Chain A
């Protein structure tokens, strides 16, 4: 009853092509943004902001990045962790060499470094596809991991061989380093993620997004229609790596605070890939849902079990959470192979025709 587009007429192409063509969507998104910007930072506890919201938003950004590559362009990649690492190390290097420049500038710049690396490792995608490509991207993952460990120049010859995030501030308020408050960090992360999601939503709706989807659906047919495969695939790699690189830089600078090479291991790639698939291939909303589910589940599980009155030790809790996450991945795939995004679409459709069944 409430969610119905009846009576909302579009009188020009501009209105028809809007990101949120339906009034209720606009109100909903506005409310979500209002809560995210104005309520959560003041109501949420430090634990909630630091341990759940900040990493959730960052992983959602990385998931959008991989979704552009895997969901929209159909190129399966297992190198996400490596590209996130490139962003993190580039940002650290740039921020320490040129300390006077604004930190957000370096976060974005590190995305471009990551994009360049992504293009190089995307070159094999012109010859190979499917699982063969997935394994080929593993090469980038392992090679980059090796670089992070073996090239001390990347961490300024630190004794600890780890990134130690320096203190940087924004409008006089510390946003990185040990004395930054969770509120300040949360707002920075939220702003970046919202801005980049908005850009991504415009990319995938436009000409570029349509090119990507044509390549995903059948690359030979797309080529025959006049889409340049080389440019399209490499652009997808570049944009995807850009998003992953920014996510990696944010992850280290605003969440971990310090990070070794193991933070960008193969497990990170797998985690992001599972977020993409559980959330829904080719869906931005799904990226957020997948990141929320996969990231928060292991954190919340011990609390849920405690609430249900099942006493467990912390070591067992970790093992059981592994099992439950695995089982849930399989469960969600069986229930809805198109991911949480499809469930959301079905719910919207039901709302639209309510109270009638169809």
Chain B
């Protein structure tokens, strides 16, 4: 309608999407909101990655399956008759057992190995947890126990710009929970004794050891914290769709968030998640049709890649200094 013949394609790329945003602001706001919520969930997964990477230098590939495993434990426990909140505590307990055994069985014998070996070990852990999860809970998708955990459902809707914008209460809860958790982690890191020890380990393993911090203990704590983050992520994401092993692949979306934000930065994980979430939703809705749709699957990576070309260490990552 707007585009004149010789500039058809350029116009479709550079003009029409923005015109549509302006013309139908309700859809635009709805898209932004969806992106924001998706981004929050990516941030949560990325947060788990960052916690482990900071404290132990391990690129924890298993974070995605930990999300699935935590959510499955919760649903599985509830389905055999455990009250919802007791099941929540027990699921957290399972994550602690997992953290302890990972430290004992995987990390301790592999201490001082190159990064790629540790990465591969978490890869083995992923396989193991997929098999274990399917063996215990079965491979079919499950419904998250939203009502029993008193998570509000339904939608708030209001008029905006000539249309209606719908905000799922679930999504609002997810954002509130995510913010509370990030705030909690920030306080934990800066105010408590363990938090200080964690930061010391993140700075230098050797220096931390020399002032009497137990690395093994710290790793258990960090993996447990990552497990708790995984549990919360699993609940929120499970409530939005369902608890299934497909989540594990979706969790790979947290990787572009990581490189965007920097592997070692918690604020980076949050901001990166929001940029990726909004970017891919807006891209999919307004530019996706030009390419035949479905570009959500790789757009996030391309956004991250474009950022990387200008800042190789991510938005908030520490400057990479190399010595010869």
Chain A residues with a Cβ under 8 A of chain B: 70, 76, 124, 127-128, 130-132, 135-136, 138-139, 142-143, 145-146, 149-150, 218, 220-221, 224, 266, 270, 273-274, 277-278, 281, 316, 319-330, 333-334, 337
Whether the pair A322, B304 counts as a contact (CB closer than 8 A) is: no
What is the bound-complex CA distance between A330 and B131, given in angstroms? 14
Proximity string of chain B (116-135) to chain A, C-beta cutoff 8 Å, 1 when within and 0 when not: 11011101111111111011
Query: Would A220 and B131 be within 8 Å (CB), given that A136-B259, A330-B105 are in contact?
Result: no
> A324 to chain B: which residues have CB within 8 Å?
131
Whether the pair B135, A131 counts as a contact (CB closer than 8 A) is: no
By DSSP majority rule, is chain B's interface helix, strand, loop, or mixed?
A: helix
What is the bound-complex CA distance between A138 and B298, given in angstroms? 9
Interface residues in B296-324 by Cβ distance below 8 A to A read: 297-298, 301-302, 304-305, 308-309, 312-314, 322, 324
Closest A-chain residue to B129, C-beta based? A326
Whether the pair B124, A329 counts as a contact (CB closer than 8 A) is: yes
> B259 to chain A: which residues have CB within 8 Å?
132, 135-136
**Other-chain contact of B305, A76, A139, A149, A320 (Cβ < 8 Å):** A139
**Other-chain contact of B312, A127, A220, A329 (Cβ < 8 Å):** A127
Whether the pair A337, B113 counts as a contact (CB closer than 8 A) is: yes
Number of B positions contacting A (CB below 8 A): 50
Whether the pair B116, A329 counts as a contact (CB closer than 8 A) is: no
Whether the pair B117, A143 counts as a contact (CB closer than 8 A) is: no
> A139 to chain B: which residues have CB within 8 Å?
256, 298, 301-302, 304-305
**B101 → A minimal CB distance (Å):** 11
Proximity string of chain B (245-285) to chain A, C-beta cutoff 8 Å, 1 when within and 0 when not: 00001001001101100010000000000000000000000
What is the bound-complex CA distance between A221 and B116, given in angstroms? 21
**A282 → B minimal CB distance (Å):** 12
Whether the pair B256, A319 counts as a contact (CB closer than 8 A) is: no
**B53 → A minimal CB distance (Å):** 9
**Other-chain contact of A142, B132, B292, B301 (Cβ < 8 Å):** B301
Whether the pair A326, B126 counts as a contact (CB closer than 8 A) is: yes
Whether the pair A330, B128 counts as a contact (CB closer than 8 A) is: yes
A selection of 28 A-B contacts at a CB cut-off of 8 Å is A127-B308, A127-B312, A130-B115, A131-B115, A131-B263, A135-B256, A135-B259, A136-B304, A138-B255, A139-B256, A142-B297, A142-B298, A142-B301, A146-B298, A150-B291, A218-B324, A220-B322, A270-B123, A273-B123, A277-B117, A320-B131, A320-B135, A322-B134, A326-B127, A327-B128, A329-B121, A330-B125, A333-B121
Whether the pair A135, B116 counts as a contact (CB closer than 8 A) is: no
Chain B residues with a Cβ under 8 A of chain A: 59, 105-106, 109-110, 113-117, 119-121, 123-132, 134-135, 249, 252, 255-256, 258-259, 263, 291-295, 297-298, 301-302, 304-305, 308-309, 312-314, 322, 324
What is the bound-complex CA distance between A131 and B308, given in angstroms? 12
Most buried by B among A135, A220, A329, A334: A135
What is the bound-complex CA distance between A131 and B249, given in angstroms? 18
Closest A-chain residue to B122, C-beta based? A330
Whether the pair A333, B297 counts as a contact (CB closer than 8 A) is: no
Whether the pair B305, A124 counts as a contact (CB closer than 8 A) is: yes
What is the bound-complex CA distance between A149 and B292, given in angstroms? 11
Whether the pair A333, B117 counts as a contact (CB closer than 8 A) is: yes
**B236 → A minimal CB distance (Å):** 24
**Other-chain contact of A330, B121, B297, B302, B309 (Cβ < 8 Å):** B121
What is the bound-complex CA distance between A261 and B183, given in angstroms? 43
> A218 to chain B: which residues have CB within 8 Å?
324
**Other-chain contact of B127, A127, A146, A316, A323 (Cβ < 8 Å):** A323
**B240 → A minimal CB distance (Å):** 22
**B279 → A minimal CB distance (Å):** 14
**A49 → B minimal CB distance (Å):** 28
**B103 → A minimal CB distance (Å):** 13
Whether the pair B301, A322 counts as a contact (CB closer than 8 A) is: no
> B114 to chain A: which residues have CB within 8 Å?
337
**A145 → B minimal CB distance (Å):** 7
> A328 to chain B: which residues have CB within 8 Å?
124
**Other-chain contact of B258, A127, A135, A337 (Cβ < 8 Å):** A135
Given contacts A132-B263, A322-B130, 17 further A-B contacts (CB under 8 A): A128-B312, A135-B304, A136-B259, A139-B256, A142-B301, A145-B298, A146-B297, A150-B293, A150-B294, A277-B120, A329-B123, A329-B127, A330-B106, A333-B113, A333-B117, A337-B110, A337-B113
**A203 → B minimal CB distance (Å):** 22
Whether the pair A136, B131 counts as a contact (CB closer than 8 A) is: no
**Other-chain contact of A135, B115, B255, B292, B313 (Cβ < 8 Å):** B255
Query: Would A135 and B312 be within 8 Å (CB), given that A277-B117, A322-B127, A330-B106 are in contact?
Result: no
> A128 to chain B: which residues have CB within 8 Å?
308, 312
**A338 → B minimal CB distance (Å):** 9
Whether the pair A327, B124 counts as a contact (CB closer than 8 A) is: yes
What is the bound-complex CA distance between A273 and B116, given in angstroms? 11
- Give me the 7 closest cross-chain CB pairs, A-B, nearest first: A322-B131, A326-B127, A326-B128, A329-B124, A139-B301, A323-B131, A142-B298
Query: Would A150 and B292 be within 8 Å (CB), given that A220-B324, A266-B252, A319-B131 are in contact?
Result: yes
Closest B-chain residue to A321, C-beta based? B131
Whether the pair B127, A333 counts as a contact (CB closer than 8 A) is: no
> B125 to chain A: which residues have CB within 8 Å?
326, 330
Whether the pair A146, B308 counts as a contact (CB closer than 8 A) is: no
Most buried by A among B59, B124, B295: B124
> A224 to chain B: which residues have CB within 8 Å?
324
Whether the pair A333, B120 counts as a contact (CB closer than 8 A) is: yes
